[in-house]
Amino acid sequence: MLAATLTATRRRPSLRSPNSETVHQTPTDPPGLGILRKWRGQHPSPPLNPSQPPLMRKIESQMNAAISEGKDWSNANTRVENHDGVSYVYLHGNLIAEVDDRGIKLYDGGWQSNTTKSRLNAILSEHGIAGEGVFQHKFEWFIRLFNGTEFFTTEFRNGMRLGTLAPEMLLA
């Protein structure tokens, strides 16, 4: 009798948050993850679309604007300083990039964090060649580069310079 009562009172987990808003889950989310994200104030990210560039954070857009305009800029943990036509980008006081007319020089600033990777990818998407980017696989950083005819992947190295290609070298 007691077992029947307990079984009757059990409910399936609801896909509604405490304030009765519908929570959307992506097909790859385990059951209930959408609710957990909603409760924690984290909304599921939209699925990645390879034909669209990744969305940039507001601070990264401002950082790129400062680099493009050749202005000094600082906000929260990110700073851009311009000296003699070179933009130096710092994250938490550590140099992560140098951007000039000849190309981009990349550093991890001593921390291979998601924030560092995000800032570097924002710089590459704005000032590099479309499709180049830093990514992580099994806790190791790699970079996808364009050599004028095709993309290739190599390990990330501090101080590596990505040169700009002349327009005639870019594939249309």
pLDDT in tens, 146-166: 887 888 999 999 999 887 655
Domain boundaries, position 110: 58-169
* Residues 120-144 pLDDT 10s: 999 998 898 888 899 999 999 999 9
The structure's pTM equals 0.65
Domain count, the chain: 1
The reply to whether 51 falls in a domain is no
Provide the pLDDT confidence category of residue 29 given band limits of 50, 70 and 90.
Answer: low
The reply to whether 113 falls in a domain is yes
Are 96 and 119 within 8 A, CB to CB? yes
The reply to whether 80 falls in a domain is yes
